[in-house]
Amino acid sequence: MKKISLYINILLIFFPAFSLSYPFTGIYFQSRILGLPFLIWYTLISKKHINKNLLVFILALLISLIIPVLGLLTNRIFSLMDIGYILSFLYLIVFAQAMGNNFIIFINFVKLFTLANIIYSILQTILMNIGLETLAMIHSNLPVKIDSGYVLPASILPYTFRFSGLFNESSPLIFYLCSSYIFLSEISSENRSKNTFIIQVLTLLTILISGSKYSYAFLINYVVIKLVALIEEKNLRRLSYVIVITLILYLFNQYFSAILSSMSETLPAFEDRKLNIENSINLLSYLDFLGNGFLPSSTGESGGLDAITIVVGGYGILFGMTILISFLIWILLSKLKNKPIFVVVYILGLLSSGSFLISQYTIFFTMIYVINKQYKISAFYLNDSDRKDSLIQS
């Protein structure tokens, strides 16, 4: 019976863009939140204490609880999104805890969800090319998308479009696919199965042809990190990082304006995102201590899609940055073989899709937690084996 509650939650995650609540209540929230009672019930009957590795998310949950209450005494706006953040952080804690105790189920979910998004992206591309644009977004009932008659924009390559997969837009999809690719690399680095390798290849090809700014930034960073990692000598590796970073900074200094101008001409969305990030930096100068509250990013009311605009703007510089930086430190302290790439995925996510209400952050952080949990289990058994060997030898 306990497993059924897990499978219900996994099924609900397959609806990141279609809200099952919206047709009945008129309130749009992601369907996975409907599974929260089942997850809490699973946690209670499992009689397992919340792992201390999840304390960073408990801190975020406390901030999401306290700031709206204190904000009632100031000019901070209270909205349903405040409740959404409370539920999202709570969901993350119990979901990660549950998946950490069900490693194989989580891996199979990641594989299946990745394949589902790739297959659906192919279907979207076909529908767009034969003129059935509205059917390509039938998986989403986000009101602002429906009201605006949103269709997938064209990509750089001919006959390709900025497919969204099962998500609302391409950026959340690519965020997830990059996370999935690195996660599968991490868990299969020593014993890679054939089907995992095929999924990784398909994922990489999808990222390549997506036309997303996130995908190109990810691939550039991925190649640089892997090239530097080829250098075994630690001091040489540090020197190579300095050289590569210096070279990148020099090239950006020389060609930054030309690159921005070219990208703005070929990709109109790039210009919008650049302006949003500039506006988010300016926002910091007139933020209230407890933030200004949350405004919908999907409608453009928030002024940007990055985490500075959304999270820091919602909770203030002190508490908003505490959440963002504590998550980053948590990743840096995690037992990851591909730690620099996980950091890149996180930072690019903050720049492109900075709302923690979306499900890819839940999955991304759960991936890292699950890897940490398995590392500790493996280390325990390795030490236990060593102790047995020493006893036998003595």
Q: Could you tell me if residue 137 is inside a domain?
A: yes
Residue 191 resides in a domain: yes
Which of 31 and 244 is assigned the larger pLDDT?
Answer: 31
Judged by average pLDDT, the poorest of 135-139, 231-235, 242-246 is 231-235
CA nearest 2: which of 49, 41, 35?
A: 41
Residue 224 clears pLDDT 50, i.e. is over it: yes
One-letter amino acid of 327: F
Burial (CB count within 10 angstroms: exposed 0-12, middle 13-18, buried 19+), residue 317: middle
Specify if 277 maps to a domain: no
Helices 213-229, 234-266: axis angle to 10 degrees equals: 160
Q: Is the pLDDT of residue 271 over 60?
A: no
pLDDT tens profile 273-299 = 555 655 666 666 667 788 888 887 766
Whether residue 20 lies inside any domain: the answer is no
Residues of the domain holding 261: 212-266
50 secondary structure, DSSP code: P
Token pair of 174 as six digits: 């690519």
**Please, how many CA atoms are within 13 Å of residue 297, restricted to the half-sphere of its CB?**
24
User: What pLDDT score was predicted for residue 64?
Assistant: 97
- Please check whether residues 198 and 224 belong to one and the same domain: no
Q: How many angstroms separate the CA atoms of 97 and 43, rounded? A: 8
Are 182 and 129 within one domain? yes
Distances (CA, A) of 63 to 26, 37, 57, 287, 324: 28, 22, 10, 17, 12
**Residue 244 domain-assigned?**
yes
- Is residue 143 located within the same domain as residue 200? yes
The arithmetic mean of pLDDT across residues 308-321, rounded, is 91
342, 182 Cβ separation under 8 angstroms: yes
Return the structure tokens found at 1: 């019976």
Looking at the DSSP bridge assignments, the partners of residue 154 are 161
Q: How far apart are CA 114 and CA 364, in angstroms?
A: 13
Q: How far is CA 173 from CA 28, 124, 210, 320, in A?
A: 19, 13, 10, 25
- Do the domain assignments include residue 153? yes
Domain boundary among 185, 211, 237: 211
Instruction: Provide the pLDDT for residue 353.
Output: 87
pTM: 0.86
User: Looking at 239, 266, 293, which one is the last position of a domain?
Assistant: 266
Instruction: For residues 13-36, give the mean pLDDT.
Output: 92
**Tokens 């101008």 found at:** 261
Query: What's the structural domain count of the chain?
Result: 2
